Amino acid sequence: MTQVTQAPVKTRAQIASKTLRQDQWWRLPAFQAAVLGVVVIYLTWASLVNTDYYAAPLISPLYSPCLVTTCVKGSGFHWIPWLSWLAPAVLIIGGPMGFRLTCYYYRKAYYRAFWQSPTACAVREPHAKYTGETRIPLILQNLHRYFFYIALAFNVILTADAVVAFKNAQGQWGHMSLGTLVLIGNAALLWLYSLSCHSCRHITGGRLKHFSKHPVRYKAWTLVSKLNAKHMEFAWISLGFVCVTDLYIRLIAAGFFKDPTFF
Ligand code: FES
């Protein structure tokens, strides 16, 4: 008589400890939490302080474009009536901030560093249930593809600021200073960060059945894919350099030193 063997019932491994990992898995999220914490505190302060954001012709990337009536003379467009105590940066900060907050890489970093969801690979997280990004507020992360276009507009404006930095303080063209290089570096890093975005990769090469029929998009997708492999690096470096650029202009505007000129 043939004996029928029953397949064992599948259950999850019953492991009492939080993790079986032996390495110092907590070091990276702890480091990211510390760095992100410092950067967020600095950027919040710099965006709200409402002073020393312009040293002609250099403008801090946090305040550009300066659209309101209270912008320092020469720094912007003076289009929108504004309260004198409210920093002009408040009006525009949502664009770049939304782009960074919804970025796939930053999500990974701050979910681990602050929210502990997940804490790390193969480490039990403290939350009882997982709903992912399927409901409010995290479903709003899907707005990332739209923030991408807003970020491109900001990149164009900050590139224009770098071009204007070839003027001297009196408004004459044909000059260059260390501040010019700082603004060029800032704009270049922001372009690298944006063009290496996962949404950009999808826009260039997504939904295509035959790359051979779309050689230009294939070329663009190949290029963006190469940049995409470095997205994490561009995310950190460009974020740090925005702080450096703001601080550099802030120190000049406050009179700590003069912007060294090359010609
Ligand atoms: S995925 Fe990071 S900017 Fe789009």
The reply to whether ligand 1 has any atom less than 6 angstroms from the CB of 54 is no
The reply to whether ligand 1 has any atom less than 6 angstroms from the CB of 147 is no
pTM to 2 decimal places: 0.92
Decide if 221 contacts 255 (C-beta within 8 A). Answer: no
pLDDT digits (tens, 9 = 90+) for 69-121: 999 999 989 899 999 999 999 999 999 999 999 999 999 999 999 998 888 99
For residues 49 and 56, what is the distance between their CA atoms, to the nearest angstrom? Answer: 19
pLDDT digits (tens, 9 = 90+) for 46-69: 999 999 999 999 999 999 999 999
**Cβ contacts of residue 254 below 8 Å, gap of 6+?**
52
Give kind and range of the element (H or E) at residue 253: helix 231-253
Nearest to 196 by CA among 216, 156, 176, 225: 225
Sites in the chain below the pLDDT cut of 50: none
For residues 61 and 181, what is the distance between their CA atoms, to the nearest angstrom? Answer: 14
Q: Which atom of ligand 1 is nearest to the CA of 103?
A: 2
Output the pLDDT for position 33.
96
